[in-house]
Structure 1
Amino acid sequence: MSTPYLIKRLLLIVYTLFIVSLIVFAMTQVLPGDAAVMMLGQNATDAALAALRTQMHLNDPLWMQYLRWVGNVIRGDFGISLRTSQPVGPAMMQALGRSLLLAVLSISLMLVIAVPLGILAAVRRGRIADLVVSLVSYLGVSLPEFVTATLAITLFADYMKWLPPTGYVPLTENFWGGLQHLILPVCVISVVMIAHVSRMIRSELVDVLHSDYIRAATLKGLPRRTVLFRHAVRNSLLPAITVVALDVGYLLGGVIVVEEIFAIPGIGRALIVAIQARDLPAIQAGTLIMAATYCIVNFIADLLYAVLDKRIQYD
């Protein structure tokens, strides 16, 4: 992978975040509500409101407010929350850490289950194993997260009493207790991804197994296991990388239902709370942090493409 390509991709990330920052700033400006009134309350005097607006530079032109906000963000200052009166950056980064922990555990569980299922379905195509994997995949895609979460809580928490139903405990405070609270949400999130990835690996692996270079490798007398895992499976995993990279964006913002049901204070839930409270600095910080994380994950996915398939050359 060439250095010019890396520079080009990094510049593309910067450009993407610039566009996102413009959109986020513009959207927060049209939201109803006055930041000064939110901070001082409805009973604040006009003089106090005017003084606070001047202190917060709310009377400046929008372009000046945007440049000041971007400059502060570059320095790591995302502003002060209108809801809690605390710095937004540390709170959002803590919420991002919880969501990333949930995402990493969910993706790890998905890979452990989805890859073998996809390989099994492709190798046993048209047989009982393939039909069972297909049925599991269809069920995983069909069931919404709130249904799966409700069933999991009812069965494993309320009925069997194996796991706690809701709540979040940091692993640094109580590792086993925190892990118990993460098992159900991780399994619920993994169900949909297992369905997607296993079907994709199965489809790609079936095509690869019928390709010319696989036939050539077989005719050379290579063992079937070597042909399958060293050549076929490695190439069939490439599309799955894209799916996993896209799923990270889904995990950060799309699992708000799971975070809400299991009371996990992730960044998706924090962003929803900020929107409900019209907390403009928190909305801006949360959206920008999620966009940056998504860009970085897709950049890493491109790097993995080149590592797994030497035929791919980025110029």
Structure 2
Amino acid sequence: MNKNWKIPLAFIILALCFSCKDENKSRIEELSDFEIHSNEDSLNIRNNEFANYPIDEIHSNFKTTYKDSLDLLRFWRKSAFSTLDTINADFSSLKIKKLLSDYSDGDKGITLGRVYTSPDNLFKIVIGRGESCGAYCNPYWISEIVFANGQIINDLNFKDIENIYLMPDGKYLIKEKSFGRPAAVYSETTTSATLISFEGNTINYHRFNYNYPKYNEIQNDSIYNPSGKLSLSQEHFIETTQYLTFNNSSKKLSYGYATDFSYCCQIDSIYAYTGEFEYKNGEFVHLTEQKKYIKVD
């Protein structure tokens, strides 16, 4: 065999190898916008390389898949385009994040995501939490339901979901937690429970019949609670234990929280409440509540 042609052949083989390497590198860069940077609760996908994924944290009650990361990315991009009042599918996630960081209205986009699935795997609830800043900053949430068949329900009222329970009659109890700064002088945390069911493409909210503490102009007005969820808030400086727990065996929902009227109503006092609901005949029935007076120092 003539050795003269072996040298050109070697160069051809090397060139093909480098060409394949460059092609693979290009493919990795092309996919980088769809990779996910997650915490321990999320599934590591594609060799733990999540360099350009726009969401900083992801929480879930199941082992998430690559499709879940794509659902979150689609959800994030839709929210970002809504904030920026533009739709440009050619923008990379890094480009969109830069636009959000320069956005003058203080909305910096979603930084934390949640994907929680129902116990029967009929649907997932996708949550995005962001922060909007003006005189001071407050969190905001957006959410959607994604059914197993791909159908999506938008514009929901869920916050940081902690658990989803399947009730005996097919309804779902959604337990949530949130926080905020309703006034410059204090902040609060809120524990919430939402009872929902479905009719075809429609989500139904089932109201909790609970008489919220009220004083003077403070009233339990459904205008401010359209989903009918049970929402119990407590100011950050109150040391009383705040909780909302559901016992799936007894179907009882127990709560404890305290609220202060001094900022709104010039009353130097705090009241702590503990009580319990029980799920009967398709609704939560309020069984008991104890009220305890706490003097502010």
- RCO greater where, 1 or 2, for CA within 8 Å and sep 6 or more? 1
Could you say which TM-score interval applies, normalised by the shorter chain?
under 0.3
Richer in helix (by share): 1
Q: Scaled by the length of structure 1, what TM-score is found?
A: 0.21
Richer in strand (by share): 2
Q: Scaled by the length of structure 2, what TM-score is found?
A: 0.22
